[in-house]
């Protein structure tokens, strides 16, 4: 293992600390009674509060001035200045804790615990006067040094920023230390999920768990990851969706169920796609897709308000307004609006010719539904910035959706598009087992033609439908995509703690 000069020095310091009887990784509990933010927000010099505080965090800077020093401690809430005096932390004859340990053996990134009292410096900065200092964990690797300075106008300037995406995504633990704003993104993501969960719970829907390892993958058009179960000697698949299991629960008597699920699709990666992703799926009996559109509008509006205090969210150069009601287009209306072409009566040959004329390259193995999807994706989706419902899809595109009640050849389905990307998908769910079997068989034929994302036939799901499923509205919302929008993030990797990466290159 190749070690840098700094890494070698820190390992030497670790050994020297042990020789001095100081454990660089002590086991004893360190009782934290306050945070940096708590102190800075609430300290009142007139009340002289916070006379006994205990904080812990990383040492992030240090200015040694002989017998006393100023340093900066960072905990999960932010940073605060600490004042360390030799005579306070090392009273009496033995000054090693200050002269040797603090000045020579502590490094940027080390975890320390401090006890003391709060005061304001002559320049008015809230600080902690340290009376006790404890090393809690020695850092053996140096952090990237990110320098921040505030000019006379109060503008912060950042130097030597840790911005390389390859390093940031691979070493998220470092990214969050030196780029604290990254933590805010993930706090907002959690708040987003919690807001949705509270919304659904308030309406009495049951949160459930369904299998991740499945004998048959279904519920979406995607290629699966597969594995092998040794004891059962059978192939299993990581789920691409949890739809078919949740609909089994509607058959079983629940009126409303939902699941925040990790799903897996063995397909391309991009700034909008990760092979492992999160979505919430909801199924409610006796409802239809019109009702579900109203629910989506209301729930996402609440998310925006919870995260930002307003329905308007800055996303790149655009301000997106999630206030209800959202614009609605049928799929054919959207295509005609953005291309000037009415494709509603075209057969597969005409659709291929239209796509070619529009400059869209098509896989020769895909059918009519996928061609329409390609035209919409290439010519319409990217232009839909404000939240918009696209409704009434061709039946070939939606093997699990109910046929439209009044429009031949279409199904009752919508997608919500925002900032040029789909954020949710919904159906009036197909509950006719005969029709569902015929749709599955059509998918099998597409698979034989070479469509690697065609659905497989699930006999147990068909058996469940034959016992009877009430009219049901279903919904899937991509949590990662919605998080990108709500946190103004440009890449899906920015809203995943640990995105999938290529194998790390090892230097020879």
Asked if 456 contacts 215 with a C-beta cutoff of 8 angstroms, the reply is: no
> Quick one: 246 and 283 in the same domain?
yes
> Quick one: 233 and 316 in the same domain?
yes
Task: Write down the pLDDT at residue 255.
Answer: 97
Of 112, 143, 174, which one is at a domain's C-terminal end? 143
Residue 195: inside a domain, yes or no? yes
Asked if 283 contacts 258 with a C-beta cutoff of 8 angstroms, the reply is: yes
pLDDT digits (tens, 9 = 90+) for 91-106: 877 789 999 999 999 9
**How many other C-beta atoms are found inside a 10 Å radius of the C-beta of residue 234?**
9
> Quick one: 303 and 339 in the same domain?
no
As a whole number of angstroms, the longest Cα–Cα distance in the chain is: 94
Sign of the torsion formed by the C-alpha atoms of 250, 254, 255 and 260: negative
Residue 158: inside a domain, yes or no? no
Q: What is the pTM of this model?
A: 0.90
Distance (Å, whole) CA 222 – CA 237 = 12
DSSP codes joined into one string, 319-331: EEE-PSPPEEEEH
Stretch 145-169: mean pLDDT, rounded?
81
Residue 507: inside a domain, yes or no? no
Tally of CA atoms within 13 A in the half-sphere of 480 that contains its CB: 23
pLDDT digits (tens, 9 = 90+) for 249-258: 999 999 999 9
Of 360, 385, 410, which one is at a domain's C-terminal end? 385
E strand or H helix that includes residue 60: strand 53-65
CATH of the domain at 320: 3.30.930.10
- CA-wise closest residue to 446 among 354, 500, 371: 371
Which residues contact residue 487 at a Cβ distance below 8 angstroms, ignoring those fewer than 6 apart?
185, 188, 189, 307, 494, 495
**How many other C-beta atoms are found inside a 10 Å radius of the C-beta of residue 14?**
16
The domain tally of the chain equals 3
Asked if 59 contacts 113 with a C-beta cutoff of 8 angstroms, the reply is: no
422 is in an annotated binding site: yes
> Quick one: 409 and 280 in the same domain?
yes
> Quick one: 336 and 225 in the same domain?
no
Q: Range of 367's domain?
A: 328-385
Q: Is the pLDDT of residue 55 over 60?
A: yes
Stretch 141-156: mean pLDDT, rounded?
81
267 is in an annotated binding site: no
Distance (Å, whole) CA 55 – CA 76 = 11
- The SS3 call for residue 200 is helix
- The structure tokens listed for 115 are 């006890």
Mean pLDDT over the full length of the chain:
93
Confidence at 508, pLDDT banded by 50, 70, 90: very low
> Quick one: 368 and 404 in the same domain?
no
Asked if 77 contacts 37 with a C-beta cutoff of 8 angstroms, the reply is: yes
């Amino acid at each position: 293992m190749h070690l840098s000069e700094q890494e070698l020095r820190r390992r030497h310091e670790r050994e020297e600390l042990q020789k001095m009887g100081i454990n660089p990784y002590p086991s004893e509990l360190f009782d934290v009674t306050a945070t940096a933010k708590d102190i800075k927000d609430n300290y009142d010099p007139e009340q002289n509060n916070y006379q006994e505080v205990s904080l812990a965090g990383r040492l992030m800077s240090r200015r040694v001035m002989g017998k006393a020093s100023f340093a900066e401690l960072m905990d999960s809430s932010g940073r605060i200045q600490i004042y360390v005096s030799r005579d306070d932390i090392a009273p009496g004859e033995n000054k090693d804790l200050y002269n040797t340990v603090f000045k020579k053996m502590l490094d940027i990134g080390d975890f320390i615990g401090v006890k003391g009292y709060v005061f304001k410096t002559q320049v008015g900065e809230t600080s902690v006067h340290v009376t006790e200092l404890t090393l809690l964990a020695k850092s053996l690797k140096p952090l990237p040094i990110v320098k921040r300075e505030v000019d006379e106008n109060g503008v912060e300037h950042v130097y030597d920023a840790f911005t390389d995406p390859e390093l940031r995504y691979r070493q998220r633990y470092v990214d969050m230390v030196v780029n604290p704003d990254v933590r805010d993104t993930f706090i907002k993501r959690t708040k987003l999920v919690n807001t949705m969960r509270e919304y659904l719970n308030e309406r009495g829907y049951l949160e459930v768990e369904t299998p991740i390892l499945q004998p048959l993958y279904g519920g979406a058009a995607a290629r699966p990851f597969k594995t092998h179960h040794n004891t059962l000697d059978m192939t299993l698949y990581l789920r691409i969706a949890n739809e078919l299991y949740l609909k089994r629960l509607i058959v079983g008597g629940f009126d409303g169920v939902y699941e925040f699920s990790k799903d897996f699709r063995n397909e391309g990666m991009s700034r909008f796609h990760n092979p492992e992703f999160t979505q919430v799926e909801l199924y409610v009996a006796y409802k239809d897709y019109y009702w579900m559109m109203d629910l989506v509008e209301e729930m996402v509006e609440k998310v925006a308000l919870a995260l930002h205090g307003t329905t308007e969210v800055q996303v790149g150069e655009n301000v997106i307004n999630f206030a209800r009601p959202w614009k609605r287009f049928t799929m054919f209306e959207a295509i005609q609006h953005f291309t000037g072409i009415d494709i509603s009566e075209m057969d597969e040959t005409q659709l291929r010719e239209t796509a070619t004329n529009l400059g869209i390259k098509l896989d020769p193995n895909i059918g009519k539904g996928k061609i329409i999807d390609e035209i919409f994706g290439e010519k319409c989706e990217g232009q839909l910035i404000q939240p918009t419902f696209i409704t009434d899809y061709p039946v070939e595109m939606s093997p699990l959706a109910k046929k439209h009640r009044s429009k031949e050849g279409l199904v009752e389905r919508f997608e919500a598009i925002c900032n040029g990307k789909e954020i949710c998908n919904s159906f009036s769910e197909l509950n006719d087992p005969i029709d569902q079997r015929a749709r599955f068989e059509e998918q099998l034929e597409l698979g034989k033609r070479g469509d690697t994302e065609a659905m497989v036939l699930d006999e147990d799901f068909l058996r469940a439908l034959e016992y009877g499923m009430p009219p049901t509205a279903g919904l899937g919302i991509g949590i990662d995509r919605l998080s990108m929008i709500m946190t103004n993030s440009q890449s899906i990797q920015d809203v995943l703690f640990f995105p999938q990466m290529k194998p790390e290159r090892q230097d020879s």
